Amino acid sequence: MNLFKFFSFSSPAHNEKLQADAVLCGRSMVEMLGVLAIIGVLSVGAISGYSKAMMKYKLNKFSESINTLLNYALQYLPQFESSIGQTFYNEILYKLNIIPDGITYDTVSKIMYDIFDDKITVYRNHTEDNIKANILSISADTSDMSKQICRTALTVAKENAFALYSVSVKDDNDGDDGMYSTRLWGDNYCTSSVKCLRNMTVADAENVCDFCNDIEKRCRIMITWIQ
């Protein structure tokens, strides 16, 4: 008798049992694809939820930091003299150590940046007839986020309407000669014939922020108060 053959082959009944056990222990391709599909859906949902939560956090941080910066500027800028023309105050605010959390300052360019890396400049236009218009300017060039940034900035302005002259938005691609949006006026300059910050509606904010609606555009939000 060939002992190798004897010990190398099992009985038909034994082979059938092994095959049955293999079926019970394994997974079909359809089942595996189903599991992978479920994991994929859950992953997409988790990523989407995380992205929305992060965006909400950034917008809240932007709102908080711009509101704080505006209030510091309203408080401190009247203390500084200026000559005819433009005077920039970013460096002074930095040296006073009052640039709020959520805004960074570049010591080389002397420009501030918000949490979206948009440029922020605080300056004064001092006219020959001694009008001092202080401006907090935000250049929103975060493409698809620009309109949300604009609406958030308008909400901050509305909360401070009692101290402001006006808020407007312009197409920042055309320099100082670019087109401006409808102006929203502060409390002391609000009349029945103009749009006022304190009465700003969602539709008003959408209209003013239309300059930020195009992904190819960079818009500038200008919050102004008179000293």
pLDDT > 90: what percent of the chain? 55
pLDDT band at 161 (very low <50, low <70, confident <90, very high): very high
Element (H, E) at 39: helix 29-76
pLDDT band at 190 (very low <50, low <70, confident <90, very high): very high
Q: Which residue has the higher pLDDT, 181 or 49?
A: 181
SS3 label, residue 73: helix
- pLDDT value at position 45? 61
Q: Which residue has the higher pLDDT, 16 or 198?
A: 198
Q: Is it the case that residue 188 has pLDDT exceeding 60? A: yes
Q: Is it the case that residue 102 has pLDDT exceeding 90? A: yes
CB atoms within 10 A of CB 216: 6
Q: Which residue in 214, 135, 132, 144 sits closest to 173, CA to CA?
A: 214
Whole-angstrom CA distances from 216 to 138, 146, 172, 211 are 17, 10, 11, 11
The mean per-residue pLDDT over the stretch 21-28 comes to 56
Each domain of the chain, given as residue ranges in start order, spans 63-226
List phi, psi (to 5°) of 224: -120, 140
Q: Is it the case that residue 18 has pLDDT exceeding 80? A: no
> Hey, which of 91-95, 125-129, 170-174 has the most confident mean pLDDT?
91-95
Q: Which residue in 146, 143, 122 sits closest to 134, CA to CA?
A: 122
Q: Is it the case that residue 6 has pLDDT exceeding 50? A: no
Candidate CATH numbers 3.50.50.60, 1.20.1440.230, 3.30.360.10, 3.30.1690.10; the one for domain 63-226: 3.30.1690.10
